[in-house]
Amino acid sequence: MAPRAQLAGEELAGAVGPIASPRRARAARATRHLPLAPALVMLFLFFLGPVLWSIYSSFTNAALTGEGAQNPQWVGLDNFRRLFSDPNVTNGIWLTVVFVLGSAVIGQNLLGLAIALLMRGRSRWLRGTVGGIVVSAWVLPEVVSALIWYAFLGQNGTLNQIMKAVGMSGQDWLYSSPMLAVIIANTWRGTAFSMLVYNAALDDVPTDVQEAAELDGATGWRRLWSVTLPLIRPAIVTNLMLITLQTLSVFTLIYVMTAGGPGFASATLPVLMYQQAFKFSEVGYGTAISLLLLAIGAVFSFVYVRVLKPEA
């Protein structure tokens, strides 16, 4: 499409009125990009602006109330020095890594791939039913998923009822293993996306390659490992990047289920950022944490664009 669009651009320059002078032509070239302006203004004001402001204010002691709110003072690298010596932040980074690895890379990705593979060749009815149930978990709003899992894992919740029925003793899962609880909930919520991506990718795998491998005597596992997986590698990479980016910024699910607790036991970076900025009113410090999160996201997003190399 690109060369064609380029051609159109040249032609259009001639089409915008009779072009008498080079100045006119320049003006026409400028005005035809005018429709970009509203998008640029919005992105600059609400996207780039806040990012730049956060870089600035992370060097101040800005606060929601008190002296820091009136005239924030320049504090240099204090926030960052505090950031890297704060056990809650180190803990938050670790919990974020555990959350992303557990719920996205392992949970959603592997479960999604497994479901998509198991669905191959099954009846239309079975595929539709299982797919529909998995997708329904994905379609529900995040707050509702969090409430459902709050009820499911609570002291009197469904899980404990099942465990009691088979003679095991239950516990308040949100209190005893909060990270496991939010990881399972986020896996439940997000698996549908990976499943849909892998379903689409597997649909594109030519069957004759599979058949050839089978004729050569390759077993099921061998075919999966040496034929299918290499063929859908681009989908795996895209999916891993997308779900990692999504999972990095999960706030609502964790906040509603555990509020980061007990203590700081499930306070991943987004939750910690919120607590510092709004609960403890330290906007400057909260911003420093958000900058850390933004930097991690930026690295992944950059790699994503580089790996994908789409035709722009």
Partner 1 sequence: MASMGIDTPRRRAAGLVCTGILVLIAVAFLAPLVWLVLSCFDASAQTSVKFPDHPSLDNFRAVMNTDLAWRPLWNGLLLCGGSALITVLIATLAAYPLSRYQTRFRKPFLYTVLFATGLPITAIMVPVYGLFLRLQLIDSMPAAAVFLATTSLPFAIWLIKGFIDNVPISLEEASWVDGATPMVALRHIVVPLIAPGMSVVLIFTFIQAWGNFFVPFILLQSPEKLPASVTVFTFFGQYGAVAYGQLAAYSVLYSMPVVVLYLIVSRAMGGAFRFAGAAKG
Which residues from 152-191 bind partner 1, rule CB under 8 A?
152, 154-158, 161-162, 188, 191
Number of residues forming the site for partner 1 (CB under 8 A):
110
Shortest distance, CB of residue 225 to partner 1, whole angstroms? 16
Unique residue bearing structure tokens 């003006």: 27
* d(C-alpha 103, C-alpha 178), whole Å: 13
Using CB under 8 A, pick the residue from 22, 66, 87, 141 that binds partner 1: 141
Q: Rounded to whole angstroms, what are the CA distances from 149 to 30, 45, 47, 74?
A: 54, 37, 33, 44
Q: Is 1 in the site for partner 1 (CB under 8 A)?
A: yes
Shortest distance, CB of residue 130 to partner 1, whole angstroms? 5
Shortest distance, CB of residue 227 to partner 1, whole angstroms? 12
Q: Rounded to whole angstroms, what are the CA distances from 280 to 90, 135, 204, 252, 285?
A: 18, 38, 52, 19, 10
Q: Is 100 in the site for partner 1 (CB under 8 A)?
A: no
* d(C-alpha 50, C-alpha 38), whole Å: 17
Q: Is 70 in the site for partner 1 (CB under 8 A)?
A: no
Shortest distance, CB of residue 237 to partner 1, whole angstroms? 11
Using CB under 8 A, pick the residue from 278, 279, 280, 307 that binds partner 1: 278
**Listed residue (291, 258, 286, 285) closest to 274, CA to CA:** 286
What are 89's two structure tokens? 């932040």
Q: Is 199 in the site for partner 1 (CB under 8 A)?
A: yes
Q: Is 226 in the site for partner 1 (CB under 8 A)?
A: no
Q: Is 74 helix (H, G, I), strand (E, B) or coil?
A: strand
Q: What is the DSSP string of 5-63?
A: HHHHHHHHHHHSS---SHHHHHHHHHHTTGGGHHHHHHHIIIIIHHHHHHHHHTTB---
Using CB under 8 A, pick the residue from 136, 168, 209, 222 that binds partner 1: 136
Q: What is the DSSP string of 250-299?
A: --HHHHHHTTT-STTTT--HHHHHHIIIIIS--HHHHHHHHHHHHHHHHH
Piece in contact with partner 1 (CB under 8 A), picked from 19-27, 76-84, 101-109, 110-118: 110-118
* d(C-alpha 299, C-alpha 94), whole Å: 17
Binding residues among 279-308 for partner 1 as defined by CB under 8 A = 283, 286-287, 290-291, 293-294, 297-298, 300-302, 304-305, 308
Using CB under 8 A, pick the residue from 21, 23, 39, 87 that binds partner 1: 39
Asked if 165 and 83 count as a contact pair (C-beta separation under 8 A), the reply is no
Q: Is 104 in the site for partner 1 (CB under 8 A)?
A: no
Using CB under 8 A, pick the residue from 251, 261, 265, 281 that binds partner 1: 251
CB closer to partner 1 out of 179 and 245: 245
Using CB under 8 A, pick the residue from 22, 33, 165, 230 that binds partner 1: 33
